[in-house]
Amino acid sequence: MYRVQDEVSLLRASLEGETEAWGEIVVRYKEAVFGLCLGFLRNRADAEDITHDTFIRAYENLRRYRLEKRFSTWIFTIASNLCRNRLRHRRYHPVISPSDPVSGGLDPAAVVAQEDRWTRVREGLDVLPYGYRAPLILRYYNDLSYREIAEVLSLPEGTVKTRIHRGKVMLKQAIEKDGVIHYERG
């Protein structure tokens, strides 16, 4: 029933207490929010927790959301802030845990073919400082505009553009330095 409705109608229905409408919003955004969280936190369990917390926080604060704004920017801002809090908590409360391999539930043959490349790109992203990693993830994994990234990260748009440019340069250097991915030239 709700699949054909536009986002604003779903949000209005959610504000009126229709839980099915909110469920549809969650279905539409859960993968994107999880991907954002996984990109920031690099830990599947933490990303799942923060994704869940993001939707709880969004629902609790839905009355503060302005319907004329893009919902994706608002939900990504909530997720980004929660990720920053988790990273800050980790810094002061380190925990030793086994690494969590990430799989996207793709065809096994495709996973095998792409896993090495994606692992190496993630390794390259891991060495970037958060200030450069976050804009790259928002831009290339979540397809946000510079303006939207600026809103999510509370930065001027010019700073976002600079960080994305510098982040790409840093990522390329990290990948080439470690031999992570060899680019064919010519």
How far apart are the C-alpha atoms of 163 and 176, rounded to whole Å? Answer: 19
What pLDDT was estimated at residue 144? 84
Does the pLDDT at position 170 exceed 80?
Answer: yes
Mean pLDDT of the 64-83 span: 92
**112 pLDDT tier (thresholds 50, 70, 90):** low
157 with 150: CB under 8 angstroms?
yes
Predicted TM-score (pTM) of this structure: 0.63
CATH number of 106-186: 1.10.10.10
Mean pLDDT of the chain: 81
Architecture in CATH for domain 1-102: Orthogonal Bundle (1.10)
Do the beta carbons of residue 123 and residue 178 sit within 8 Å? yes
pLDDT band of 96, cuts 50, 70, 90: very low
Give the CA distances from residue 74 to residues 21, 135, 144, 148, 165, in Å, rounded to whole numbers and listed in that order. Answer: 17, 16, 12, 9, 24
What are the sequence ranges of the domains in the chain?
1-102, 106-186
pLDDT tier for residue 26 given thresholds of 50, 70 and 90? very high
* d(C-alpha 141, C-alpha 123), whole Å: 15
DSSP-based three-state secondary structure for 157: helix
Three-class DSSP category at 6: coil
Q: What is the token pair recorded at 31?
A: 């993968």
Rg for the chain, CA atoms, rounded: 18
Q: Per-residue pLDDT averaged across 24-49, rounded? A: 92
